[in-house]
């Protein structure tokens, strides 16, 4: 059921030889929420004010809600069916609500990122593909998230279309092939730091990924459906929020099966309604510029990435 177009793009994104530095533009995703009591007047390009390292940045283009959008939908369901089945149902329901200008590409995260379907507006085909996805294997979000961002960025660079990654995941910190459980070095020593900080390995993994993701421009949205309360899981779940925040995306969490539809609905809704700002990079800019986006004289809450790590194209 894999399709050739996105697979070729996948290969190009992952294996293309690096080229010389020289990015001249930067895409910034911005999620906007009206504060209570404020109006919802349309936002125009002239309404935004953007600075890089405190210096005003020229806004080249603004893509708004309603403009074309490509969603890379990554299904990461490896747990029990009591979570996976309502997750599939809720995902299909949200896909059927999508506007005509939204294309969805379907991928699966188990055993490496696999392309199931090219971006399409064929809701029935997507529903069938989602329904038939197996629920097995190991959690796949952490080892695939950078590759998903690479694919999204290769699309983003080729057009003005908005692009975002959305993970639907029941991932569990204990269900990865990589062991994130900090082993106890001396079980008889109550002062052994490995016993006091079991979340250390997970924190290190998240920190590394967070740094890496700041080099990609596409936002990542996460709907996590299997909330756990132990220390390593708490570190993992907080880490998912950090990863989404680093890209200008949003993470939503479900603590019970009844909350699954709401978490998935939130992920789709924020992704579909996000703005994409194209900025002109000045000739001289730091390698990790501080970004600030405002809408002067408007009572709105903005979510966006605050850092971008410049790298070779």
CATH number of domain containing 196: 3.40.50.410
Q: What is the pLDDT of residue 34?
A: 73
Asked whether residue 15 is domain-assigned, the answer is no
Asked whether residue 16 is domain-assigned, the answer is no
Residue spans of the chain under pLDDT 70: 1-23, 35-40, 182-197, 312-313
Asked whether residue 160 is domain-assigned, the answer is yes
Q: What is the pLDDT of residue 215?
A: 95
Q: What is the pLDDT of residue 39?
A: 58
Q: What is the pLDDT of residue 15?
A: 44
pTM: 0.88
Asked whether residue 299 is domain-assigned, the answer is no
What range defines the domain where residue 281 resides? 4-9+63-182+192-286
- Percentage of residues in the chain with pLDDT exceeding 90? 73
Asked whether residue 52 is domain-assigned, the answer is no
Asked whether residue 87 is domain-assigned, the answer is yes
Domain count, the chain: 1
Q: What is the pLDDT of residue 183?
A: 58
Q: How does DSSP classify residue 45? A: G
Dihedral (CA of 300, 304, 307, 313) sign: negative
Q: What is the pLDDT of residue 193?
A: 46
Asked whether residue 292 is domain-assigned, the answer is no
Could you give the CA distance from residue 236 to residue 228 in angstroms, rounded to a whole number? 9
Beta carbons of 267 and 252 less than 8 angstroms apart: yes
Q: What is the pLDDT of residue 296?
A: 85
Query: 142: helix, coil or strand?
Result: helix
Closest by alpha carbon to 112, among 218, 265, 2, 216?
A: 2
Q: What is the pLDDT of residue 180?
A: 87
Asked whether residue 36 is domain-assigned, the answer is no
Could you give the CA distance from residue 84 to residue 260 in angstroms, rounded to a whole number? 10
Q: What is the pLDDT of residue 149?
A: 97
């Amino acid at each position: 059921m894999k399709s050739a177009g996105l697979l070729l793009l996948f290969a190009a994104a992952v294996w293309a030889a690096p080229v010389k530095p020289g990015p001249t533009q930067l895409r910034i995703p911005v999620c906007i929420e009206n504060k209570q009591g404020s109006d919802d007047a349309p936002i125009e390009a002239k309404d935004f004010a953007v600075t890089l390292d405190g210096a005003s940045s020229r806004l080249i283009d603004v893509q708004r809600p309603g403009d074309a959008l490509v969603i890379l939908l990554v299904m990461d369901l490896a747990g029990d069916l009591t979570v996976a089945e309502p997750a599939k149902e809720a995902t299909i329901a949200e896909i059927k609500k999508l506007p005509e200008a939204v294309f969805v590409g379907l991928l699966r995260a188990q055993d490496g990122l696999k392309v199931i379907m090219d971006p399409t507006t064929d809701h029935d085909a997507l529903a069938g593909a989602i329904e038939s996805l197996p629920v097995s294997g190991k959690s796949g979000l952490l080892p695939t998230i950078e590759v998903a961002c690479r694919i999204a960025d290769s699309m983003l660079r080729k057009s003005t279309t908005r692009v975002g990654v959305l993970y639907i995941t029941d991932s569990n910190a204990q269900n990865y092939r990589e062991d994130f459980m900090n082993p106890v070095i001396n079980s008889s020593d109550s002062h052994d730091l490995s016993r006091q900080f079991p979340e250390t390995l997970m924190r290190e993994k998240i920190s590394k990924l967070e740094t890496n993701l700041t080099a990609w421009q596409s936002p990542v949205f996460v709907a996590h459906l299997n909330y756990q309360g132990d220390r390593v899981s708490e570190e993992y779940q907080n880490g998912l929020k950090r990863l989404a925040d680093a890209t200008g995306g949003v993470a939503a969490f479900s603590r019970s099966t009844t909350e699954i539809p709401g978490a998935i609905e939130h992920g789709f809704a924020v992704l579909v309604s996000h703005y994409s700002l194209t900025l002109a990079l000045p000739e001289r800019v730091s390698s990790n510029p501080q970004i600030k986006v405002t809408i002067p004289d408007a009572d709105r809450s903005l979510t966006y990435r605050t850092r971008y790590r410049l790298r070779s194209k």
